[in-house]
Structure 1
């Protein structure tokens, strides 16, 4: 019964995420928001809702390893999605089709944010304010700065045929309502996916760090997977990349919310050492994403696909050793 509900929830998340992405594409076309901004903040926030529910549930059952591991693990799985899709559709050369300056700030920010988490995990001690680690206030402050940077530098994308891209000529109001409804469905189904995924993990007897960082993180990242696939189908490459990078930033902000509800002190101090290699792995993976965005467009398919292949290899080798 648990597996049946888990599977049904996964299907609902997939279907709702498709609509979420399509409505987001309409919003990017008919508003003053670019595809990168819509992907980085609007869609990223909605698709990160399951991660929040999972981590808050983990706090409730007093399992900080799952709470933190879920966020960090979701981030590396998100980057894996981007790399894996780039490998499959390597002939499209996705990273050569985007505007790097729209995504470099969020990629750099993700590395800096995670660096703050790494420092806190290494020191294993923290100044607290209202029982919340000071690193969480730093993360929120950095996020606000990043959002303001995007507000000051976004550029409007020009799309010639809106109806052909979305399949239906929705108005901005209808797209906004559809986006909100789809986000609620993703939240509900994604929450069920997380809860029953946790139950399945407990039945297998796997440790909490691995469960949070890989099994649950993978299941709650299904919306991001569908987001990238649909954006790729719409040829909105900036939204595909922006949704992943934005989701990573948003997940790190959810750590701050999780810390608020964890009443035993800074949540990062309560975790085991298993989350540190996950955070370091993420920094390395994003470093390769930065390289792909900054490199020149020349070279054959093997040269182009090499960084994405390396990201996939890094993920599975890490999964093996952490398991």
Structure 2
């Protein structure tokens, strides 16, 4: 048992380190390729930092642990949102959301939409036995991917027309003169390989720990695995806060949450025992609902822009954190008591 926990921790450390450098190389690639701010914060870096979640979830369904796969996707979303509460504490006095612009409302709402689609699909499959598929992939997963592609295009076009606030830090000189585009691409690929291996081993050890300890797969995926694979987002967000790039920090979180929902499609593709969402526990609706509530609180705070704070944190960040920890407690109770 001790060996399994040590391997789990070691693989998590590999993911943290590789995910951090993956984010760095992704930033360099975005800068040197001229993809623009939308891809830097909300799309490219978000996809880069979400690669651990993708690899771990796909590996989980391959080894026969679909609940870890789905729980990882939803759990990472809730963990990412609580990262914003931590970032609010780090950035100094006053609410963090006062420092970012309204354009994040769009990406936040898209994240809620995708989560709601999965919840709706879980309800249909579990209570109405509705599980249509195409070549073994659930029609719900296909709709999810299609919705992601359409909405990401909307976000990109909106960002082109409405760039981030002009008072955000502007890179007037190349911040990475020692890196060429090709060097950054090689570094990105190396980190990706490490994450693929680490994510695969992480999913195997998580499944084994679940079986030996009696800890439910849903809880393992939604809390422990999700926290481990979301640490690159935490590092990237803290780094953005330290340089005063608040829009980058918030964009990375919302962008990661959007991409995380497509993980369900890719996991479904590799799941060979039927339609993925038809073979996971209904308890995932709880994790998804917690994420939707947290995102709604943050978006309301972004729109309302209250200046009131407590212990340097905005009340929206505090409320989101309270919802998160309440959800963790409820999920733990359900994981132990619900079959």
* TM-score, shorter chain, exceeding 0.5: yes
Query: Per-residue deviation at 1:162?
Result: 4.1
- Which residue number corresponds to residue 158 of structure 2? 153
2:61 is paired with a residue whose SS is helix
What is the CA deviation profile of residues 111-158 of structure 1, one whole-angstrom value per residue up to 9, with x for unaligned ones? Answer: 111111111111222322223221112111111112221332334667
Query: Per-residue deviation at 1:278?
Result: 1.0
Query: Per-residue deviation at 1:319?
Result: 1.1
2:273 is paired with a residue whose SS is coil
- Which residue number corresponds to residue 255 of structure 2? 246
Does structure 1 residue 289 correspond to structure 2 residue 298?
yes
Q: After the TM superposition, which residues 59-138 of structure 1 pair with which residues of structure 2 at under 5 Å, given as runs?
A: 59-91=61-93, 93-101=95-103, 103-124=104-125, 125-138=130-143
Structure 2 CA distance for partners of 1:91 and 1:72, relative to 1, 3 Å: same
What is the CA deviation profile of residues 154-185 of structure 1, one whole-angstrom value per residue up to 9, with x for unaligned ones? Answer: 3466714445xx47554444444433433333
Does structure 1 residue 272 correspond to structure 2 residue 281?
yes
Query: Per-residue deviation at 1:312?
Result: 1.0
TM-score by length of 1: 0.87
- Unaligned 5+ residue runs, structure 2? 333-339
Q: After the TM superposition, which residues 190-205 of structure 1 pair with which residues of structure 2 at under 5 Å, given as runs?
A: 190-205=199-214
How far apart in 2 are the matches of 1:258 and 1:159? 38
Structure 2 CA distance for partners of 1:61 and 1:177, relative to 1, 3 Å: closer
How far apart in 1 are the matches of 2:170 and 2:311? 31
What is the CA deviation profile of residues 202-236 of structure 1, one whole-angstrom value per residue up to 9, with x for unaligned ones? Answer: 44321111111111111111111111111222322
Query: Per-residue deviation at 1:301?
Result: 5.3
Structure 2 CA distance for partners of 1:67 and 1:99, relative to 1, 3 Å: same
Structure 2 CA distance for partners of 1:90 and 1:311, relative to 1, 3 Å: farther
- Unaligned 5+ residue runs, structure 1? none
Of stretches 288-297 and 191-200 in structure 1, the one that deviates more from structure 2 is 191-200
Structure 2 CA distance for partners of 1:267 and 1:189, relative to 1, 3 Å: closer
How far apart in 1 are the matches of 2:309 and 2:232? 32
Does structure 1 residue 144 correspond to structure 2 residue 128?
no
1:99 is paired with a residue whose SS is coil
1:279 is paired with a residue whose SS is helix
How far apart in 1 are the matches of 2:306 and 2:322? 23
Query: Per-residue deviation at 1:30?
Result: 4.2
Q: After the TM superposition, which residues 204-223 of structure 1 pair with which residues of structure 2 at under 5 Å, given as runs?
A: 204-223=213-232
Structure 2 CA distance for partners of 1:196 and 1:263, relative to 1, 3 Å: closer
Does structure 1 residue 261 correspond to structure 2 residue 270?
yes
Does the 8 A contact of 1:132 with 1:259 survive in 2?
A: yes
How far apart in 1 are the matches of 2:25 and 2:56? 25
1:17 is paired with a residue whose SS is helix
Of stretches 308-317 and 261-270 in structure 1, the one that deviates more from structure 2 is 261-270
Does structure 1 residue 312 correspond to structure 2 residue 321?
yes
- Which residue number corresponds to residue 7 of structure 1? 9
Number of residues of Structure 1 aligned to a counterpart in Structure 2? 320
Across the aligned residues of Structure 1 and Structure 2, the Cα RMSD in angstroms comes to 2.6
Does the 8 A contact of 2:26 with 2:48 survive in 1?
A: no
- Which residue number corresponds to residue 57 of structure 2? 55
TM-score by length of 2: 0.84
Structure 2 CA distance for partners of 1:8 and 1:59, relative to 1, 3 Å: closer
Does the 8 A contact of 1:121 with 1:276 survive in 2?
A: yes
Does the 8 A contact of 1:50 with 1:194 survive in 2?
A: no
What is the CA deviation profile of residues 73-97 of structure 1, one whole-angstrom value per residue up to 9, with x for unaligned ones? Answer: 1111111112222234342743222
Does the 8 A contact of 2:136 with 2:274 survive in 1?
A: yes
